[in-house]
Amino acid sequence: MKKLLILFLLQIGVANTMHAQDKHWHYLFDGKSINELRGYQMDTFPDAWKVEDGALVAQTNVPNVDLVTKDTYTNFDLTLEWAMSKAGNSGIFYNVQEKSTHESGNGNSPNWLDNFEFQLLDDIDFNDHEPRRSAGSLYDLITPQNKHLKPVGEYNTARLLVNHGHVEQWVNGVKVVEYELGSPELNELISKSKYRNNPNFAKSTSGHIMFQHHGQQVWLRNIKIKRLS
């Protein structure tokens, strides 16, 4: 009886701890509500995205409109699930400001030239097979390591941790990219990338989080964020 009581109390303690931890997380998308998101440079949620079976789905054959968080963030832990269509492409951007010196060539926001991107991609069928631009990469800068993707159409998990200049990118529970903002190593990579001639690249230290609409279907669900002090 004593053992059962101890086990019961331990279960209550674990449940209370998990509940306390959950209070620090906030849903950006819980499968239903779109109140935390809007279109890039828009006041409303765009027709380019629909809620279907508990997921945000980028629509095809419509003008591309990226999604941004209504709120802005500096230090945070972001988690979500994502699935990609065949030859699909998308990405997660952070510290986004809704302005750019660049014109968009494909209808979506030009922020891909101004901000770091956590790449989401169908590695097999997309027409760019450069490793540093593959799924899980810090786009055009750092190739992901030890990555294991689910087949196209199945959900992967993504985690983006930004904490006082330290950044981690995770795919399916594995850390695949890690870097320090402003470090000589990262600046050297930028100087050799497609961003090298953009003096505004990655200058913001806080901003919106953006989910890219690249013209292909992508599914996003269970999008949660936790602010870090």
Sheet holding 117-121, edge to edge: 37-39, 67-69, 208-211, 89-96, 117-121
User: What local confidence, expressed as pLDDT, does residue 32 receive?
Assistant: 98
In the structure encoding, which two tokens stand for residue 164, read together? 């006082």
The hierarchical CATH code for the domain 26-227 is 2.60.120.560
Query: Is the model's pLDDT at 74 over the cut of 60?
Result: yes
Burial of 209 per CB tally in 10 Å (0-12, 13-18, 19+): buried
User: What local confidence, expressed as pLDDT, does residue 84 receive?
Assistant: 98
The chain-wide mean pLDDT, for the chain, equals 89
pLDDT digits (tens, 9 = 90+) for 179-229: 999 999 999 999 999 999 998 899 999 999 999 999 999 999 999 999 999
Cα separation, 166 vs 55, in Å, equals 30
pTM flag (> 0.85) = yes
Compute the radius of gyration of the chain from its Cα atoms.
Answer: 19
> 12 or 136: which carries more pLDDT confidence?
136
Please compute the mean of the pLDDT values over residues 94-103 and round it to a whole number.
Answer: 75
Q: Report the DSSP pairing between strands 208-211 and 174-180.
A: unpaired
Domain residue ranges in the chain: 26-227
User: What local confidence, expressed as pLDDT, does residue 65 receive?
Assistant: 94
Q: Which residues on neighbouring strands pair with residue 179, listed in sequence order?
A: 167
In the structure encoding, which two tokens stand for residue 160, read together? 């983006």
